[in-house]
Chains A and B, each alone.
Chain A
Amino acid sequence: MIGQAGGDTAIGARVPLLSLSGIVKQFPGCLANDRVDLTVLPGEIHALLGENGAGKSTLVKIIYGVLKPDQGEIHWQGQPVIVQNPNHARRLGIGMVFQHFSLFEALTVVENIALGLADAADRKGLHGRIAEISKAYGLHLDPDKAVHDLSVGERQRIEIVRCLLQKPKLLIMDEPTSVLTPQEVERLFETLRRLAHEGCAILYISHKLEEIRALCERATIMRLGKVVAHCDPRKETAKHLAELMIGTELKAASHHARSEANGGPRLAVKDLSLKSEQQFGTDLKAISFAVKGGEILGIGGIAGNGQAELMAALSGEMLAARPDTIAIDDIAVGRMGPRERRGLGSCFVPEERNGHGAVRDMSLSENAFLSGNVRQVLSRNGLINAGKTAGFAGDVIKSFDVRTTGPAAEARSLSGGNLQKFIVGREVKQSPKVLVVSQPTWGVDAGAATAIHQALIDLADKGAAVIVISQDLDEIFSLADRIAVIAEGKLSQAIPIAEASIEQIGLLMGGTQGTPAGPVGANSGARHAAPA
């Protein structure tokens, strides 16, 4: 049912808390919101569902006063308003928890919250009020702890408490669970349900279908800047929601028909310890694992627990202290740089596309040359072989169905999903013996994600050792043969996927971070279970 503001029969006679009608927002070269209508009722948990780039973030930024709409009206509790800025939004009673937190690492919880308050008078008794709110809503938080000692889940609680201090009528949560363990997700949901019960409406933005089905009463689904459907997510299947969101029928990656992995390990890491180069980075502590040919190892964990450092150590961007801590096909490579490691047959896909895996202002040909020269030999006598390079780039574009005008197109002209397909394709096409991928489908649309998963599975089937570092447990459960979890720079034992349970992985993800594992909800397993 395509509803209109105020015309939705489900709303009945209640006055909507917030209603948007005909919101249009144009960015250069992109119509982010195209006549969007949205109605939020008091005390409801309302999902705003859509793929990356569907216009969800733009819409909530308009509600929160960060952006101004080009056209359209906003009604707050029945009255027309123009939200001037976030301060104005907060005065109206709108709170927002952003995906990326704005906290000072070196300051304590109470100091961070005090900095966000407009009035000095509000700071009186702040300590007590923080303790009170965190107790009332099950948001465990020590006001005197410095932020850099806190887990990501605890940092998110600071942002939520900061909002709740303003006694909001509407709380906007932008992709809140991407950084949480399953247990933390369950605790967050309890808090949100309690808030909703007390009358605070929640606008919950996500592309995670199972979460929305578990939490939300109503959903507005967006695609390419437009509202395409309204529904009750509790009554829909995840598959149907996904199809509404993507607009086509979903095809899952065919599962890894794995032969018994045999032979020695292709990649072996032994007792790898490494100090982070970042001030608040995570040092790696005695990491050991081994991956055989034909095998996919998934490395799960919450962001910022040493994934970046592990990736850099495996790719050679950071060198280990001793050569024998990392071995590719029994050759000690710990002191070798990325080029030498590529020469020995290992390829890498870093987490960040822009400026790390690819150079935005360079053509796809040049980006193919970036990491392809060693194994594909794209240069001669110090000069770039332009024909061969364009041929290699064209091959990647064709095999991976990268939507672009050709090898001469600049990387920045590609959408996130297409650029990621190109980068994964560039590495896979080099027929590596070892492939290390970090966050292969981060911010990638579902169609591209399926293609990338298929490529990784095919590569493993051809005998390569594949290591997937990911925060997305669904991804690891659907791809990997074994899973290990990184927490605080330490890597757990790898467990065969068939024997791993979500609860067990969740506890490992919590690690020793001072996040006591609360009672696990009965339905938390179902939410994250791998697609069969």
Chain B
Amino acid sequence: MLLRLEPRGQRSRLWTYASPVLALALTVVTSAIIFAVLGKDPLQSLHVFLVSPLISATGLPELFVKAAPLILIGVGLSLGFRANVWNIGAEGQYTLGAIFAGGLALRFPEAPGLVLIPAMMVLGVLGGMSWAAIPAYLRVRWNANEILTSLMLTYVAQLLLIYLVTGPWRDPEGYGFPQTALFSSNATPPILVEATRVHLGVLVAFLVAIVGWIVLTRSVIGFQLRVLGQAPRAARFAGFSQDKLIWLSLMAGGGLAGLAGMFEVAGPIGQLTPAISPGYGFTAIIVAFLGRLHPIGVIFGGLILALSYLGGEAAQIDLGMPNAVTGIFQGVLLFFLLACDVLILYRLRGPKPSLAGGA
């Protein structure tokens, strides 16, 4: 062994922020190697994957459209992760938000947008919360691990969605396809920038990140979440209710995931289908950690992971590569991020010096 790890004795502030940068750099290098092994020109492939989506005419606006759900979910998860509440089921909460809001849009297509859109937002949040309430109750009442319960409920949510779009909510004029009717134009969130798909949800995502930042750093509740995560006994000493904070974490994560689901189906998708998410709820976990569980960091994390979705599409079209490129990029990034985070608590040292004067 040439290199060894030596405990620093404290967290390194530098490496807290340098670790995601190094992880990204290593991920890009690894991606290039993977492209080369697959017989593609690595530099050209990287250009297609990471640069071309940004310089195309629709690139930048699309990046924000894709980043919006990731940021919304990522902010909510960050609050919970700070408190050591591991909500892994945002994908399911996203789905329930989409179902609740979509159901409303289908039921009241003629309602005026000014009423319908806010009502759908509220229902989206409630849908996500209702799904997150199950792991919250199980955790508080019976100390059931929320990682397992929230994750398992993801699959229940997906099956519920499939049932609805193939059964009671299927579009009667849809030639038997498993999807609902298109939502009315009243149910479509306003476009903010002309000739793009940048919708209200993008603005909301950024506002949520800013509010999340204030909550986490300035508010009493944010303080309580941070204390619970860093020192549960100190939280108890201070008299903070752990049960209340667990509920709050899961409600924040679930509500924002539900809101993300609402904006996706009401905006870019425009109906309910079995494929309303390319794994946003899971990718947002990477977003949260890449953003250092800080709402402003989550904005950057969301944009970077959004690029991986666009790059994956570009690689399919221009390089004839499978869509799995996106998943591989995301997985490698998480892998390197976790590895690089070791440097926050440890430093790399050269070979062990021999004992001076040790006979």
Bound: A317/B241 CA distance, A: 10
- CB of B144 within 8 Å of the partner chain: no
**A357-380 interface with B by 8 A CB criterion:** 357-362, 366, 369-371, 373-374, 379
Bound: A485/B201 CA distance, A: 64
- CB of B223 within 8 Å of the partner chain: yes
Bound: A171/B356 CA distance, A: 27
Bound: A397/B20 CA distance, A: 36
Q: Once the chains bind, are B9 and A27 in contact (CB under 8 Å)? A: yes
Q: Once the chains bind, are B239 and A338 in contact (CB under 8 Å)? A: yes
Known contacts A28-B9, A342-B239; A358/B234 CB under 8 A: yes
The 0/1 profile, CB within 8 Å of A marked 1, for residues 207-234 of chain B is 0000000100011110100110011011
Q: Once the chains bind, are B233 and A355 in contact (CB under 8 Å)? A: yes
On chain A, the residues within 8 Å of B10 by CB distance are 412
On chain B, the residues within 8 Å of A352 by CB distance are 233
Bound: A356/B238 CA distance, A: 9
Bound: A379/B223 CA distance, A: 11
Stretch at the interface among A65-73, A137-145, A248-256: A65-73
- CB of B8 within 8 Å of the partner chain: yes
Of the residues B218, B227, B239, B358, contact of A359 by C-beta under 8 Å: B227
Kindly provide the distance from the CB of B308 to the nearest chain A CB, expressed in whole angstroms: 31
Q: Once the chains bind, are B223 and A369 in contact (CB under 8 Å)? A: yes
The 0/1 profile, CB within 8 Å of B marked 1, for residues 285-321 of chain A is 0000000000000000000000000000001110000
Kindly provide the distance from the CB of A310 to the nearest chain B CB, expressed in whole angstroms: 15
Bound: A357/B10 CA distance, A: 19
Q: Once the chains bind, are B8 and A356 in contact (CB under 8 Å)? A: no
- CB of B359 within 8 Å of the partner chain: yes
Residue of A nearest to B356 (CB): A71
- CB of A339 within 8 Å of the partner chain: yes
- CB of B237 within 8 Å of the partner chain: yes
On chain B, the residues within 8 Å of A121 by CB distance are none
- CB of A384 within 8 Å of the partner chain: yes
On chain B, the residues within 8 Å of A371 by CB distance are 237-238
Bound: A379/B222 CA distance, A: 12
**B163-202 interface with A by 8 A CB criterion:** none
Known contacts A356-B233, A382-B220; A370/B9 CB under 8 A: no
Of the residues B9, B221, B237, B241, contact of A29 by C-beta under 8 Å: B9
Q: Once the chains bind, are A359 and B231 in contact (CB under 8 Å)? A: yes
- CB of A22 within 8 Å of the partner chain: yes
On chain B, the residues within 8 Å of A22 by CB distance are 357
The 0/1 profile, CB within 8 Å of A marked 1, for residues 5-31 of chain B is 011111100000000000000000000
- CB of B236 within 8 Å of the partner chain: yes
Q: Once the chains bind, are B357 and A71 in contact (CB under 8 Å)? A: yes
Known contacts A29-B9, A348-B237, A362-B226; A82/B358 CB under 8 A: yes
**B147-162 interface with A by 8 A CB criterion:** none
Q: Once the chains bind, are A384 and B219 in contact (CB under 8 Å)? A: yes
Q: Once the chains bind, are A384 and B223 in contact (CB under 8 Å)? A: yes
Closest 10 pairs between A and B when the two form their complex, measured CB to CB:
A338-B239, A339-B239, A355-B231, A356-B233, A80-B359, A359-B231, A71-B356, A337-B239, A370-B238, A379-B220
Residues of A with Cβ closer than 8 Å to B? 22, 27-29, 68-73, 80, 82, 315-317, 337-340, 342, 348, 350, 352, 355-362, 366, 369-371, 373-374, 379, 382-384, 386, 412
